[in-house]
Amino acid sequence: MKQNNIPQQTHFIGVLLPEDISLRLEDCRQYMNRAYGCKSGHGTPIHVTLVPPFRLQKDHSTDNLIRAIENEVLPKGLGFTAHMDNFDAFGDRTLFAKVVADENWTKLRDETVKAILNACPGCTKKDRRPFRPHATVSNRDIPPGITAKALEVMNELNIVEDFPVDNITIFERKGNRWVAAVTIELATSN
């Protein structure tokens, strides 16, 4: 299946957020939908992306990804406690709950990317930019000029809390939606 002659992405890797935070962020998605008609990405479970969407080659499967994470990432004990600090945006294109970046996130991202590339060479590439963990609320279909107002409304919710980074989840594309196909538990160390 191709769109605009670009092979469709099949997988991405992320961290699912705890249910209480996810429900609060789903409320924010509903607000963006009601107030501004935003729908893009709203079917995907709330998460922090570690490895952005990529196309898994035909000779590889989700099982290869699971084994790579279980064998190369889990033994390193990379679970930790993260901190969410209200909302921010990447320009007018993405509105998100801000997750405070630190070396734990970078290490988890780097080790996950390395494991995926070892299992399925060439399926993705390492992002050279500093890792900015975030939980997307709306993206791609945000009307121009409303980001500041939407941020003002959402920051009044004061979603500032710690949460456990206790999983690595493999998402698969099913039709037009991303689903959490496999969640692998991470032991948390702090």
Can you give the pLDDT at residue 41? 83
**Fold of the domain built from segment(s) 2-185:** Cyclic Phosphodiesterase; Chain: A, (3.90.1140)
Cα-based distances in Å from 143 to 49, 123, 138, 148, 157: 24, 33, 11, 11, 22
Can you give the pLDDT at residue 128? 86
Model confidence at 153, in pLDDT bands (50, 70, 90)? very high
Cα-based distances in Å from 173 to 1, 3, 55, 80, 111: 11, 14, 10, 28, 23
Model confidence at 150, in pLDDT bands (50, 70, 90)? very high
Res 60 pLDDT > 80? yes
CB-based contacts of 60-65 (< 8 A; 24+ apart in sequence)? 60/119, 60/120, 60/123, 62/11, 62/170, 62/172, 62/181, 62/182, 64/119, 64/120, 65/11, 65/13, 65/116, 65/119, 65/120, 65/170, 65/182
- The model carries a pTM of 0.93
Res 5 pLDDT > 80? no
Res 1 pLDDT > 60? no
- Structure confidence by residue, pLDDT tens digits, 89-99: 999 899 999 99
Res 3 pLDDT > 60? no
Domain boundaries, the chain: 2-185
Can you give the pLDDT at residue 2? 44
